[in-house]
Structure 1
Amino acid sequence: MLNLSIILEDSARHVPDRTALVFGDLRLPYSMVDSVANQVASLLVARGIGKGDKVALLCPNVPYFPFVYFGILKAGATVVPLNLLLQPREIAYHLTDSDAKALFCFEGTPELPMGARGREAFEATDGCEQFIVLPATPLATESEHGESFWAALDGMSAEFETVQTEPGDTAAILYTSGTTGQAKGAVLTHANLLINTMVSDGMFPADPEGDVSLAVLPLFHSFGQVSVMNVCLRRRGTLVLLPRFDPGAALELMVREKVTMFAGVPTMYWAMLSKIHSDGDEVPKTLKVAVSGAASLPIEVLKDFEATFGIPILEGYGLSETSPAASFNQLSRPTKPGTIGFPIWGVEMRLVDDEWNPIEGEGPGEVAVRGHNIMKGYYGRPEETAEVMRDGWFRTGDIATRDEEGYYSIIDRTKDMIIRGGFNVYPREVEEVLMTHPSVSLVAVVGVPHDSHGEEVKAYVILAPGATASGDELIGWAKENMAAYKYPRIIEFRETLPISATGKILKRELR
């Protein structure tokens, strides 16, 4: 018997009165979060949904997310969290592809009408039988989009005996962003997610007073869900929920709630540092652990953060398919800035070539991972699963090098690599060099079609406040600092760059 919901249940048993969730002025104790999750499980069972059934959840970082997430798990069902930015057609695709029986959907806002989009998708999906609205107004029992969560829970028992599930049973299906065609659902087991939570938790000493973690990474994404929400609830900490990242709001919450742990993506660190330097925002003093993942963190941002906050950023690496953590700069060994550290406990990594043969020495090669964190496969896609999995190894699509001490450094995604005149150019390397120019604040490098070279190197640049460098000036400087085949021939200045719901720079929109 193993059910991921144990991380909430155990904390609710031991510290029932401790604050589990902070959202605006709301402070909810562990006992209440567990009780509402029990009511959700009671509701699902009453509606005929149980072991092996799939339940979709479209919800931002608000208390509904953990209520419903753990309620689905307690009922023995599988949770299918959905990206908040999906349009009705895409939501319908995910509901159909995952065989979801029910959808819990947040009402949303005028700018992001999730309720209306979710309803339209639900109407268009044959197999999905239940649509429950998570109302934006607290405790509202009515919604224009359908049955309200609170009305549905009325009369449901707050006592529930969690359904017994096996370690290999499916706990969640997490959809990958689908940069190559349609999104695929990574099937993750109770063991995958629970062991990853426990190992991630064990990497950092707990604050005896109780840790406070800021959840601004979207909880629908594996990084926010496992590394932030699950780790915090397992260590009996307080999870401070912020539905939309804003650097000023994040810094203010860190100060007010005395946040000790923060996990973010590189663009978040860059935005908070920019805010502190340009507007003089207060630097939080209580932060003990800062973690970055999901994309490579520029060395210049690492240095600036350590100088400003007085603590290093620990970089890690993982994917939805690896539950998510695979490697990390862990406190047991020295941190190496610019690397993703070494494999976490119970996980092996190696570099392979196109034929899966191991590459010895430094590489470069494609990262392959094996261990307790590897998904069962892509839901309903045996051929695509077979392409990326062999003998327990999963190939990630990321190119990396490895130093003599076993620390890995991601060079780039295989699909982001630029081939210019027959030479391989790794955008990350070009970005790192450009970021050292005093006028450059942020940069994204992509390959664009070129008649004779196949592809040309193009850089999108956000200038530092007050900087006036021209494109020709930056190209000339880059030419002096990089090999002839690498430096960008085209520079376009931007005020902003397109960012995904998970905070990554969307290079496909720049190509």
Structure 2
Amino acid sequence: MLSLSVLIDEAARSFPDKTAIVCGDTRLTFRELQSRCHQLANGLIAAGLRPGDRVALSCPNVPWFPLAYFAIIKAGCTVVPLNILLNADEVAYHLEDSAAKAYIAFEGSEDVPIGRTAVDAFRKAQDCKHLWLIESGQTLVSDAIGSDGIASHTSLMEASNELPHVDSEATDTVVILYTSGTTGKPKGAELTHANILLNAIMFGRLSEAVADDRQLITLPLFHTFGQTVQMCGSLLNGNTMVLVPRFDPKAVVDLMIAEKITVFCGVPTMYWALLNGVDITPEQVEKIRGHLRLCGSGGSSLPLEVLKGFEEKFDVPILEGYGLSETSPVACFNLLSHPRKPGSVGLPIWGVEVKILNDANEAMPVNEHGEICIRGHNVMKGYLNKPDATAKALKNGWFHTGDVGYIDEEGYIFIVDRLKDMIIRGGYNVYPREIEEVLLTHPAISLAAVIGVPDTQYGEEVKACVILKDGQTASTEELVAWSKAHMAGHKYPRQFDIRDTLPMTATGKILKRKLLAELES
């Protein structure tokens, strides 16, 4: 028997009175965190949920995320974390595709109305029987509570705080993370208790984690990096988690000083913002330097100038790594004990193999480019209810990432490019085909090609090149506004290029590389 929830139980046993979570004025000890998880888990069981049932979760970086996440696991259920920026149609798709029996959602705010979106999506997903709303105090969804299977989370917290007796096996699916890979509708990667637990242990080893560490968590917990590496890693090592609901460079600087942060992980745009988006006095820099011992970066390549500038300013190493939702996520990482090479994502973590293969599944020689393939304890079980997609991604025990890279003579791994056209905007994956399909529902758009263009703040920005239907008109401002209303906040194109033609092959396939070259010329 093995459950990921052992992370909370062991932390509560070893550090019962130590602060586990800091968020605004809220502070919870490990004992309090465990007790509330038990209450919520017993509430879920009393509501009729059974081992193996899937429970979706929409929540920002507030204490309710780890509480709900581990309560779902303690009830023997599977967590389906959802991006809080998804719109109602997108959430409904995830609820239906995962066959979620229940849904827990934070109320949110006027700017990010998670609760209202959740209500709209829940009413579209016929097989989801329960929606519990966690009120944020803004009364945005109070009118929905009490109807159509919708209730307040407080009804779940009336249960006992005794340990729920639900057994789980190491190979049971504990989390379903949705990823589109490179094309089509999002697919649910099934991760096991062993996948995530071993990944958290391995990251703790390579980062030389200690119990005195205090981690600032501004990476979204619904994302695999923040979820496994930071949340689960913090619990494993008895670290205090300082949660930041929304990244703001000034707030991050203030918290680094006030909470004596020792570990910070972020995507490249966060490091860029901390260097360029906030005024930091020499006194503040010295205070941060006095505690900060390690930083981690992932999501996309960290520009070398940003890495050098940050390390020089704060006198701290930034370790870059590589992984995917399908690999729990960490597959390789730089180590404190080994030299780092510019542009490299480091070495495979313990128990994980990385190979570079060609189209014939043959290993490529040193420094030769090919597809990055991964085998080990971190690789997912497969994509939920998608045997064809699973068979395409998992071949002979190797997960084919769809990314191009090479391995040098010392075993260091370098990422060169993506086989497909995926865009990474601010650390979030954006899949052009999904955006194009939505754009084609616009009454004025005849054809669309979505590409990523360089952006100093987000790494890449989403740009749509469109051809309008005969007789139709639309301004770029109108198209941006329409897209914003129909897509998640990190997905919709901020730039439009209205064109008469798009470069194509003889078979009608749009040549996106040629399109990029035209735009750059």
Q: TM-score range by the shorter chain?
A: 0.7 to 0.9
What is the match of residue 87 of structure 1?
87
Deviations 1:112-165 (A, max 9, x none): 111111011111111101100011129x9x933325544213430011234111
Deviations 1:304-355 (A, max 9, x none): 1111111121000110000000000012321223210010000000001123
Amino acid across the alignment from 2:142: S
What is the match of residue 230 of structure 1?
232
Unaligned regions of 5+ residues in structure 1, if any?
418-426, 429-445, 447-454, 464-497
Give SS of 2:220's match. Answer: coil
1:264/1:154 Cα in 2 relative to 1: closer, same or farther (>3 Å)? closer
TM-score if structure 2 supplies the norm length? 0.79
Confirm or deny: 8 A CA contact 1:135 1:148 kept in the other structure. Answer: no
Q: Give the one of 307, 312, 322 matched to 1:302.
A: 307
1:21/1:370 Cα in 2 relative to 1: closer, same or farther (>3 Å)? same
Displacement after TM superposition at 1:416 (Å) = 3.9
Displacement after TM superposition at 1:177 (Å) = 4.7
What is the match of residue 328 of structure 2?
323
What is the match of residue 219 of structure 2?
217
Question: Separation in 2 of the partners of 1:206 and 1:390?
Answer: 34
What is the match of residue 4 of structure 2?
4
Amino acid across the alignment from 1:370: R
What is the match of residue 254 of structure 2?
252
Match status 1:195 vs 2:195: no
Question: Separation in 1 of the partners of 2:391 and 2:9?
Answer: 36
Q: Superposition pairs for residues 255-334 of structure 1, below 5 Å?
A: 255-276=257-278, 282-283=284-285, 284-285=288-289, 286-334=291-339
1:503/1:301 Cα in 2 relative to 1: closer, same or farther (>3 Å)? farther
1:226/1:508 Cα in 2 relative to 1: closer, same or farther (>3 Å)? farther
What is the match of residue 34 of structure 2?
34
What is the match of residue 368 of structure 2?
363
Question: Separation in 2 of the partners of 1:458 and 1:106?
Answer: 31
What is the match of residue 77 of structure 1?
77
What is the match of residue 398 of structure 2?
393
Confirm or deny: 8 A CA contact 2:86 2:488 kept in the other structure. Answer: no
Q: Give the one of 163, 169, 172 matched to 1:160.
A: 163
Match status 1:66 vs 2:69: no
Amino acid across the alignment from 2:319: L
Question: Separation in 1 of the partners of 2:492 and 2:243?
Answer: 23
Give SS of 2:345's match. Answer: coil
Displacement after TM superposition at 1:356 (Å) = 1.9
Q: Superposition pairs for residues 118-137 of structure 1, below 5 Å?
A: 118-137=118-137
Amino acid across the alignment from 2:80: V
Question: Separation in 2 of the partners of 1:30 and 1:149?
Answer: 25
1:65/1:154 Cα in 2 relative to 1: closer, same or farther (>3 Å)? closer
Displacement after TM superposition at 1:281 (Å) = 8.9
Displacement after TM superposition at 1:507 (Å) = 10
Amino acid across the alignment from 2:143: E
What is the match of residue 411 of structure 1?
416
1:313/1:242 Cα in 2 relative to 1: closer, same or farther (>3 Å)? same
1:393/1:161 Cα in 2 relative to 1: closer, same or farther (>3 Å)? same
1:323/1:459 Cα in 2 relative to 1: closer, same or farther (>3 Å)? closer
1:503/1:162 Cα in 2 relative to 1: closer, same or farther (>3 Å)? farther
Confirm or deny: 8 A CA contact 1:362 1:402 kept in the other structure. Answer: yes
Question: Separation in 2 of the partners of 1:329 and 1:504?
Answer: 30
Displacement after TM superposition at 1:167 (Å) = 0.7
Deviations 1:273-313 (A, max 9, x none): 11356887932221111000110111111111111111121
Question: Separation in 2 of the partners of 1:504 and 1:269?
Answer: 21
Question: Separation in 1 of the partners of 2:488 and 2:234?
Answer: 22
Question: Separation in 1 of the partners of 2:489 and 2:401?
Answer: 19
Confirm or deny: 8 A CA contact 1:105 1:132 kept in the other structure. Answer: yes
Q: CA RMSD in A?
A: 2.9
1:195/1:506 Cα in 2 relative to 1: closer, same or farther (>3 Å)? farther
Amino acid across the alignment from 2:125: T
Question: Separation in 2 of the partners of 1:505 and 1:316?
Answer: 27
Question: Separation in 1 of the partners of 2:417 and 2:124?
Answer: 39
Amino acid across the alignment from 1:264: G
Confirm or deny: 8 A CA contact 2:44 2:156 kept in the other structure. Answer: no
Confirm or deny: 8 A CA contact 1:251 1:281 kept in the other structure. Answer: no
Give SS of 1:145's match. Answer: coil
Deviations 1:57-95 (A, max 9, x none): 000000000010000111111000000111111100000
TM-score if structure 1 supplies the norm length? 0.81
Question: Separation in 2 of the partners of 1:462 and 1:54?
Answer: 39
Question: Separation in 1 of the partners of 2:325 and 2:123?
Answer: 29
Question: Separation in 2 of the partners of 1:294 and 1:385?
Answer: 23
Q: Give the one of 346, 354, 360 matched to 1:349.
A: 354
Confirm or deny: 8 A CA contact 2:43 2:157 kept in the other structure. Answer: no
Question: Separation in 2 of the partners of 1:153 and 1:167?
Answer: 27
Confirm or deny: 8 A CA contact 2:85 2:489 kept in the other structure. Answer: no
Question: Separation in 2 of the partners of 1:156 and 1:133?
Answer: 17
Confirm or deny: 8 A CA contact 1:263 1:291 kept in the other structure. Answer: yes
Question: Separation in 2 of the partners of 1:274 and 1:96?
Answer: 42
Confirm or deny: 8 A CA contact 1:263 1:290 kept in the other structure. Answer: yes
Question: Separation in 2 of the partners of 1:32 and 1:272?
Answer: 33
Displacement after TM superposition at 1:254 (Å) = 0.8
Confirm or deny: 8 A CA contact 2:293 2:317 kept in the other structure. Answer: no
Displacement after TM superposition at 1:461 (Å) = 5.1
Amino acid across the alignment from 1:218: P
Match status 1:21 vs 2:16: no
Give SS of 2:399's match. Answer: strand
Give SS of 1:332's match. Answer: coil
1:505/1:360 Cα in 2 relative to 1: closer, same or farther (>3 Å)? farther
Displacement after TM superposition at 1:258 (Å) = 0.6
Q: Decide which moves more: 273-282 or 394-403.
A: 273-282
